[in-house]
Amino acid sequence: MNKLIKVILFLIVGMVQAFAWGGLRGDTLAKELDEAVLNRSFYLQQREQRITQLKDMFLLSKISLWQEYEINHQLYEEFKKIQQDSAIYYIKRNMEIASFMKDTARIYTSRLRLATLYAFSGMYRESESLLRSIDRELLSKEQKQDFYEAYYSFFSYYSTNLDSFEYRKQLDLYKDSLLSVLDTASYRYKINLAQKYLAHGQARSAEKVLIPLLEKEERYNPNFAMITYLLGDVYDMDGRIDLARDYYTLSVIADIKRAFLDSGSIQKLALNYYESGDLSNALKYAQLAIEGAVTCNIQFRMNEISKFYPIINASYQTQEAQGKRQLMTYFLLISLLTLFLILSLAYVYRQMRKISAIREELVNTNACLVKLNGEISETNNLLQERNIQLSESNHIKEEYIAHFLDLCSTYINKLEDYQKSLQKKAMNKQLDELFKMLRSTRMVENEVEALYVNFDRIFLGLYPTFVKDFNALLQPEERIVLKSEDLLNKELRIFALMRLGVTDSVRIAAFLRCSLSTIYNYRTKVRNKALVPRDEFEGWVMRIGVNRNPL
């Protein structure tokens, strides 16, 4: 149980440490890599400047062979990851110098370096021949480390196209031999131990070795590139593809910034993108790996790339073809949708025009209806007014019939009394008084006066506000002021008769016992005093008392 807890805690710590490098993940790392790729020429130019400076040292007048040896060694270090042919040239020159100086140690050192370069370049026979020419017993401890590593590299590169148990056995043998001569506390020992664990599928064990090493390294130095490359292998083996991509990306960035054209991490990154289904990035980094391998002339790297590049390229081309077909399909669909949209818009436009025409017709119809409703309303008002007038007329007729009957009865009684009085005078032989009574007009005048008073009282009974409403139709300074004892005067009686429907001036003159010209003069005079248009004055008079104000 305690052992299980320790393992879990170790894994948690390992993951935290794995994420501790600046918190760069995913898209952020991808952007940094894109920037590094864009600046490749700048980093290569820096390396070329260093190479030029080293070559310029050969121009010094007095330079010893050992100084030349050191310069050649530095040039070898500069060229071994960018141009194998030049690196081989300078190592061969050092072999000549060491042989001339009869320095056995430097001869073996140069042979070991040259053997590794030959293996890198695919010159396996030359590499093996050099390694066989070295007497292991004559090597120092440090040279033995290089010897075993050179043999391991030889079998590793030579077995790229082979899958032989014998070669794998040789690889294990030389890896174990190398580990046996290395200081267990050294960086070189731990890197080789992690490689051994990975070769045997022990990803967790390799992670335990690599994470502490990563903590001690500065970002993008040579050791950082190797550690992150191996951590990428760890997580790729463990199935954590996204995390593996992050570490491969870090390793590629480090290689680019050090101007290394040979980068195993680039092809691993290309494969990682391929496995993730990102064929565009897979092809981009596969082409970058091919470019570096060809420029650097590293045969085994080209052999490795040749295994997967055609697959990636074919998949990419297939995807591109599918994409083009999809694009064409989308284009056709969009074209059809556009055509449908245009037809729909045309249909909608036509419908809108129809709706607009219908709406305009409805507006016109509504306007006509409003006009008709107004006319109907006006007609109804007129009918209502006529009904009121008719009702009033009927009422007036009823009133006048009653008063007429009453007056007739009164006048008949008066005539009977007058007749009796005349008969009495005649019977009593009172001829003088009889003639006096017959010649007198007093009775007629009294009856006419009584008639007018009776008319005024009856009319004002029917139209009590007639005087006020009539004056409202006149200009303020022209309004009629009656005497205290009068109900109506002659002017008012003329228009009172008109209000009762007696509009004939002859009849009015007969009733008021005056000339026709007098009636005309009164009517004209009053119209000239009107507040309303004179032609409409008598019409306004006719509406007095019809449930509305005259004005």
For 189-222, give the DSSP string.
Answer: HHHHHHHHHHHTT-HHHHHHHHHHHHHHSPTTSH
> In degrees rounded to 5, what are phi and psi of residue 68?
-65, -40
CATH value of 2-315 in 1.10.240.10, 1.10.150.170, 2.60.40.1180, 1.25.40.10:
1.25.40.10
Contact 110, 118 (CB under 8 A): no
pLDDT given at position 10 = 44
Residue type, 461: G
Contact 237, 203 (CB under 8 A): yes
**Displacement of CA 534 from its chain's centroid (Å):** 73
pLDDT given at position 454 = 86
Query: What ranges do the domains of the chain cover?
Result: 2-315, 455-542
530 forms beta bridges with 474
What are the contacts of 304-313 at 24+ separation with CB within 8 A? Answer: 304/160, 304/267, 305/267, 308/267, 308/270, 308/271, 308/274, 311/274, 312/270, 312/274, 312/279, 312/282, 312/283, 312/286, 313/283, 313/286
Task: Tell me how crowded residue 176 is: count the other CB atoms within 10 A of its CB.
Answer: 13
User: Consecutive sets of 10 residues in the chain, 551 residues long: mean pLDDT of each?
Assistant: 46 46 67 93 93 90 90 93 92 96 94 92 90 92 94 84 74 92 95 95 96 92 92 95 95 92 87 91 89 78 73 75 76 84 87 83 77 72 66 63 60 68 75 72 77 87 89 90 86 90 88 90 91 90 70 50
Coil vs helix vs strand at 479: coil
CA distance 330 to 237: 40
pLDDT given at position 23 = 45
pLDDT given at position 168 = 82
Q: pTM, whole model, 2 decimals?
A: 0.58
Structure tokens at 363: 């507006």
Distances (CA, A) of 393 to 67, 397, 399, 429, 501: 147, 6, 10, 51, 9
pLDDT given at position 549 = 47
CA distance 112 to 126: 12
> In degrees rounded to 5, what are phi and psi of residue 530?
-70, 145
pLDDT given at position 367 = 77
pLDDT given at position 13 = 43
pLDDT given at position 9 = 44
474 forms beta bridges with 530
Distances (CA, A) of 418 to 198, 428, 439, 449, 523: 161, 15, 14, 18, 38
